[in-house]
Amino acid sequence: MFIRYKKSFKKIAMGLLSFMPECKDVKKLQEIISEYETNSNWYLFLWKEEDILGTIGVRIEGREAVIQHVSVSPSHRNLGIGKKMYNHVCKHFEKEYLVCSDEYTESFLEKCDMESSSSSV
């Protein structure tokens, strides 16, 4: 289930984001979470099955919805959770924005797009 971040999920969201290379520093991680909590152009979503297993973050820049954070719990990787989150973000934003990546998520989004292309052929 795709859910919007709220402060009660702060610790788990920080834990998931800490798996991303640019989020290893605690101070930087706190700044990122604070930005998601206060900036109306930043959106953080969580993927929940029985537990919260992943997170995906988007910032709006003009006509683009930039996916800037994608993280899945290490014990649940390679199960398609990241791709499910990506697909939900696309559905959520595609009517108003061009969904794209930043330098940190580019290779992941390319992989999702390649898998989508090959499965639809």
Expressed in angstroms, the distance from the first to the final Cα of the chain is 27
pLDDT tens profile 43-93 = 999 999 999 999 999 999 999 999 999 999 999 999 999 999 999 999 999
Query: For position 119, what pLDDT does the model report?
Result: 55
Please, are residues 69 and 17 in contact by the beta-carbon 8 Å criterion?
yes
Q: What is the mean pLDDT of the chain?
A: 92
Whether 13 has a pLDDT exceeding 50, the answer reads yes
The pTM (predicted TM-score) of the whole model is 0.91
